[in-house]
Amino acid sequence: MAEEKRLMKGNEAIGEAAVRAGCMAYFGYPITPQNELTAYMAKHMLDKKRTFIQAESETAAINMVFGAASTGARAMTSSSSPGISLKQEGISYACGADLPMVIVNVARSGPGLGGISPGQADYFQSTRGGGHGDYFHLVLAPKSVQEAADLTYKAFALADKWRMPVMILADGLIGQMMEGVVLPPPVDPASLPAKPWAVGYQDASHRPNNHVTSINLVPAELEALVKARFKRYEEIKATEVRYEEVGCEDADLILVGYGTSSRVALGAIEMAKAEGIKLGLFRPITLWPFPAKRIGELAAKGKKFLTVEMSMGQMVEDVRLAAAGKGEVYFYGRCGGVIPTEDEVLAEAKRLLGK
Amino acid sequence: MELVYGHPKSLKSVQTKYCPGCGHGVIHRLVCEVIDELGMQEKSVIMNPVGCSIWADLYFDFDSVQSPHGRTPAAATGVKRMLPDHLVVCYQGDGDLAAIGTAEIVHAANRGEKFTGIFVNNAIYGMTGGQMAPTTLVGQKATTAPYGRDPVDAGMGYPIQVCELLATLGGTRYLARGAVDTPANVRKTKQYIKKAFEAQLRGEGFGMVEILSPCPTNWQMKPAEAVEWLEQNMMNYYKLGEIKNTLEEAKK
Amino acid sequence: MTEKTFMAGFGGQGIISLGQLWVYCAMKEGLEVTFFPFYGAEKRGGVARASVIVSTKEIASPLVTSPDSSIVMNMDSLPICEEVAKKGGLMLINSSLVKVDPKRGDLKVIKIPCNDIAEGIGDVKIANMVMMGALSKATGAVKLDKLEAVLKTFFPENKHKFIPMNMAAIEAGMKAV
């Protein structure tokens, strides 16, 4: 039976979902607007005799996750945009070493120190690898407190399944707002399958040595490793794409948005409906892999798209690539921590439709 | 017949990539001898550094983890917290530990993380080809200090005495400095390593053994000259001995 | 039914607890809810603001930009609320601290002397609860019939002795409309 609905902040719901997913180690560093998450983990991980460390930096935190994940334990770090930039070194190494871990970005507006208000300008960084080298990792974008909990919980399983970091890309609004949430059931960490590649407890099986590393100085060997990883990426693209679609089939214009922007777009769609204008919503839940195939199908039917973002236009590039010239793609965005309003989005949609 | 001296089980029987006269080989052996004596071969994790000893996993015959340059103490923290009954050895050179990774070593030490640092100080960057290290002596030449390390006018700063620096931190329990220049110092260094490892297994907080080690290639000397240079120059500035020992057994 | 409320007051007037309790009760009454407090770098003082939505259906944007109702707890909040209020929207004003009328003529204004009523009950700190009672009565969006149970989980055990006073404030707020 599902648990009773609780009222929680997004940041706290992410924390509780991680604890319930069997996260054994959390490492973080204070940064607004994700501070409640670090504080939540401090209390609840310590209460459960699990590992919590307030690291000396974001860089140290991600490398602590790297170490903990090397032993096969479920481990997580969280931060906000500037801190996520600092973690990119560790994320690149983790992708190179095929380490599962969960990284939460409660994004704010940039560049630089920028502001602490919600932002979606980390899309490129999150979906293009972010650090050096040829790699990708799963990126999940929640739209609500409920989904923030559900996707965080799911992220640990996906990370283990695909042996890669999974990023939760939220924003300050998702982190700070309170909504009702029904939490997933706790996982017993001892019940999770063993990871045969992890270090430690060699004495139990006398297995050959395990090495968690991203180094290989033989070009042909490294190429083969990277290619094998990219083959895995193709499997992920084939099986893990997630998106939500509302009334796209008979829409005159499809609004494309993720996370907070998708909520604003939905509001605009409801307002349009009252005026007899048919707008659809396409909401990518996995930002990598991007739901390109479905957008391509809709574009092939001659659909027009209006991408709504809290940035100067980042995801819109993926929408354009997916539409491949078959459907027109437009963009509306606000940046600097400004959240677009439903009225603004509706006005832009009407302008594009000549209404 | 009793075997009194042989190849350590924990050290693979392979030829290393290290230059003639390099100290890494001897230090690897000391670490492995102690691990064997403690019966920990299958319950040890070596944290591979970035630097000449980047291939440590080719030589150490047990599990390894390799993290980014300088971040090893942070990654070792993660490993040790998850595997508290394992021996975790954080092997680092002077650039790794005292330049790019200064924050990580200081904070891991201050938290009293229960792993052991093996800090190989050869006063130069080896793998990248002889650049100035944080431990390069005043006046010592390097490719990036072509006229010698000039702390004031060229603003190159002073060589960092890491053991003394870490000794002020509450989390450090055992800090010793050895060298691998003579059989006597090699034996003494091994004793330091053993003390540090035993303390780790008792859960007694952070320990580190700094080891002065020759780098003939980048010092541009013959191996014998390098040993002599180490003794005449490094040892004057980096004093050998136990810099800090607040282990339980030391209090008795 | 969807009721979008914009709440503003000075830091310390309990805007955040007011918003949280409002949505907590709404959730217990089976409604969908969102509560988004505007967060800033300063930890004390300033104008505290929150976007609060309760609805019988899925809530779209959590950001309230054209509120059905707004709560004005102090003078500084009046121009902020007037700027965003929906045409013909409801405005509840704490008349103990706000002595002027809104410039806009289209709003349905209800004045409640929250501080005076709260002081009468025993503590000015519960002025926010007086306002919540008024909001419930004026909008009908949240009945607050589960409030007593909600307060028991909201307050730590050692603060439970204040629950009757809070309930009295709600009652008084409802009556003041």
User: pLDDT tens, B25-66?
Assistant: 999 999 999 999 999 999 999 999 998 999 888 999 999 999
Lookup result for tokens 């217990």:
C28
CA distance A345 to chain C (A): 12
Give the other-Cβ count within 10 Å of C124's Cβ: 16
CA distance B152 to chain A (A): 30
Q: Print the domain residue range for A108.
A: 6-191
Query: Which 8-state DSSP code applies to residue C13?
Result: S
Mutate to test the interface with A, among C17, C21, C29, C39 (most CBs of A within 10 A): C39
What is the Cα A28 distance to its own chain's centre?
A: 17
B104 vs A25: CB contact, 8 Å cut-off?
A: no
- Which amino acid is located at A291 in the chain? P
A68 vs B62: CB contact, 8 Å cut-off?
A: no
CA distance A211 to chain C (A): 44
The three-point CA angle C79-C81-C84 to 5° equals: 110
- To the nearest whole percent, how much of chain A has pLDDT over 70? 100
Q: Does residue A225 sit within a domain?
A: no
User: pLDDT tens, B190-201?
Assistant: 999 999 999 999
Q: Does residue A333 sit within a domain?
A: yes
**pLDDT band, very low/low/confident/very high, at B92 (cuts 50, 70, 90):** very high
A63 touches B: beta carbon within 8 Å: yes
- To the nearest whole percent, how much of chain A has pLDDT over 90? 99
Closest chain B CA to residue A212: B65
SS3 per residue for chain A = CCCCCEEEEHHHHHHHHHHHCCCCEEEECCCCCCHHHHHHHHHHHHHCCCEEEECCCHHHHHHHHHHHHHCCCCEEEEECHHHHHHHHHHHHHHHHCCCCEEEEEEEECCCCCCCCCECCCCHHHHHCCCCCCCCCCEEECCCCHHHHHHHHHHHHHHHHHHCCEEEEEEEHHHHHCEEEECCCCCCCHHHCCCCCCCCCCHHHHCCCCCEECCCCCCHHHHHHHHHHHHHHHHHHHHHCCCEEEECCCCCCEEEECCHHHHHHHHHHHHHHHHCCCCEEEEEECEEECCCHHHHHHHHHCCCCEEEEECCCCCHHHHHHHHHCCCCCEEEEECCCCCCCCHHHHHHHHHHHCCC
CA distance A49 to chain C (A): 24
The average pLDDT across B144-164 equals 97
Instruction: With beta carbons under 8 A apart, name residues in chain C contacting A177.
Output: 34-37, 62
Helices and strands (DSSP H and E) totals, chain B? 11, 7
A24 and A126 share one domain: yes
CA distance C66 to chain A (A): 9
Q: What is the pLDDT of residue B97?
A: 97
C34 vs A342: CB contact, 8 Å cut-off?
A: no
Provide the CATH number for the domain formed by C2-176 in this structure. Answer: 3.40.920.10
A5 vs C63: CB contact, 8 Å cut-off?
A: no
C33 vs A7: CB contact, 8 Å cut-off?
A: yes
Q: Which residues contact C109 (CB under 8 A, 6 or more apart)?
A: C91, C93, C101, C102
Closest chain A CA to residue C53: A179
Q: What is the pLDDT of residue C39?
A: 78
Of the candidates B223, B187, B184, B185, the one whose C-alpha atom is nearest the C-alpha of residue B22 is B223
CA distance A142 to chain C (A): 14
Which helix (H) or strand (E) covers residue C109, if one does?
strand C108-112
Instruction: With beta carbons under 8 A apart, name residues in chain C contacting A116.
Output: 39-41
Q: Which of A5, A173, A343 sits opposite C27 (nearest CB)?
A: A5
**Two structure tokens written together for C73:** 């707890």
User: pLDDT tens, A139-192?
Assistant: 999 999 999 999 999 999 999 999 999 999 999 999 999 999 999 999 999 999
User: pLDDT tens, A308-321?
Assistant: 999 999 999 999 99
Lookup result for tokens 């200081």:
B106
Q: Residue B94 above 80 pLDDT?
A: yes
Which residues 323-352 in chain A show a CB within 8 A of chain C?
A: 339, 341-343
Q: Domain coordinates of chain C in residue numbers?
A: 2-176
**Two structure tokens written together for A154:** 């799911």
In whole angstroms, what is the distance from residue A264 CA to residue A257 CA? 9
Q: Residue C88 above 90 pLDDT?
A: yes
Q: Does residue A343 sit within a domain?
A: yes
Average pLDDT of chain A is 97
How many residues comprise chain A? Answer: 355
Instruction: With beta carbons under 8 A apart, name residues in chain B contacting A75.
Output: 78
Closest chain B CA to residue A215: B66
Of the candidates B164, B168, B24, the one whose C-alpha atom is nearest the C-alpha of residue B92 is B24
User: pLDDT tens, B171-185?
Assistant: 999 999 999 999 999
Which residues 37-66 in chain A show a CB within 8 A of chain C?
A: none
C65 vs A173: CB contact, 8 Å cut-off?
A: no
In this structure, what CATH number is given to the domain that contains residue A36? 3.40.50.970
B9 touches A: beta carbon within 8 Å: no
CB A266 within 8 A of CB C61: yes
A165 and A288 share one domain: no
Contact present, C and B (at least 3 Cβ pairs less than 8 Å): no
Of the candidate CATH numbers 3.40.50.970, 3.40.1670.10, 3.40.50.300, 3.90.1150.30, the domain formed by B24-251 belongs to 3.40.50.970
Give the other-Cβ count within 10 Å of A206's Cβ: 7
The number of distinct structural domains making up chain A is 2
Give the other-Cβ count within 10 Å of B191's Cβ: 15
b/e burial code for range B85-124 (CB count within 10 A of at least 16 → b): ebbbbbbbbbbbbbbebbbbbbbbbbbbbbbbbbbbbbbb
Neighbours of chain A (3+ CB pairs under 8 A): B, C
* Spatial strand order in the sheet of C108-112: A6-9, A178-181, C32-37, C47-55, C2-10, C69-72, C90-94, C108-112
B61 touches A: beta carbon within 8 Å: yes
Closest chain A CA to residue B65: A212
User: pLDDT tens, C41-83?
Assistant: 665 667 899 999 999 999 999 999 999 999 999 999 999 999 9
C6 touches A: beta carbon within 8 Å: no
Q: What is the pLDDT of residue B3?
A: 81
Mutate to test the interface with A, among B9, B81, B169 (most CBs of A within 10 A): B81
C37 touches A: beta carbon within 8 Å: yes
Instruction: With beta carbons under 8 A apart, name residues in chain C contacting A179.
Output: 32-35, 62
Q: What is the pLDDT of residue C42?
A: 60
**Two structure tokens written together for B145:** 């200090």
| Alpha helices per DSSP H over chain C | 15-28, 77-84, 114-121, 127-139, 147-154, 163-176
A212 vs B74: CB contact, 8 Å cut-off?
A: no
Query: Which 8-state DSSP code applies to residue B55?
Result: G
Of the candidates C84, C57, C80, the one whose C-alpha atom is nearest the C-alpha of residue C68 is C84
Mutate to test the interface with A, among B83, B88, B110 (most CBs of A within 10 A): B83
C22 touches A: beta carbon within 8 Å: no
Closest chain C CA to residue A175: C36
Q: What is the pLDDT of residue A322?
A: 98
User: pLDDT tens, A97-153?
Assistant: 999 999 999 999 999 999 999 999 999 999 999 999 999 999 999 999 999 999 999
CA–CA distances in Å: residue A208 to residues A203, B41, B57: 10, 12, 12
In whole angstroms, what is the distance from residue A254 CA to residue A279 CA? 6
C33 vs A180: CB contact, 8 Å cut-off?
A: yes
Give the other-Cβ count within 10 Å of B17's Cβ: 14
Lookup result for tokens 């290989």:
A216
Q: Which residues contact C140 (CB under 8 A, 6 or more apart)?
A: none
B74 vs A55: CB contact, 8 Å cut-off?
A: yes
CA–CA distances in Å: residue A252 to residues A278, A307, A348, A350: 6, 14, 13, 10
User: pLDDT tens, A34-87?
Assistant: 999 999 999 999 999 999 999 999 999 999 999 999 999 999 999 999 999 999
A172 vs C40: CB contact, 8 Å cut-off?
A: no
Q: Residue C104 above 80 pLDDT?
A: yes
User: pLDDT tens, C154-174?
Assistant: 899 999 999 999 999 999 999
A298 touches C: beta carbon within 8 Å: no
Q: Which residues contact A292 (CB under 8 A, 6 or more apart)?
A: A318, A321, A322
In whole angstroms, what is the distance from residue B216 CA to residue A348 CA? 70
A70 touches B: beta carbon within 8 Å: yes
Closest chain A CA to residue C32: A180
In this structure, what CATH number is given to the domain that contains residue A303? 3.40.50.920
**Mean pLDDT lowest among A336-350, B226-240, C40-54:** C40-54
In whole angstroms, what is the distance from residue B124 CA to residue B94 CA? 7
CB B206 within 8 A of CB B112: yes
CA distance A323 to chain B (A): 39
Instruction: With beta carbons under 8 A apart, name residues in chain A contacting C33.
Output: 7, 178-180
Instruction: With beta carbons under 8 A apart, name residues in chain B contacting A64.
Output: 74-75, 77-78, 81
- Which amino acid is located at A81 in the chain? S
Q: Does residue A290 sit within a domain?
A: yes
Partner residues linked to C54 by β-bridges: C3, C33
Of the candidates B5, B17, B27, B7, the one whose C-alpha atom is nearest the C-alpha of residue B180 is B27
How many residues comprise chain B? Answer: 252
Which residues 96-125 in chain C show a CB within 8 A of chain A?
A: none
CB B156 within 8 A of CB B132: yes
Three-state SS at C96: coil
**Two structure tokens written together for C159:** 């603060």
Q: What is the pLDDT of residue A204?
A: 95
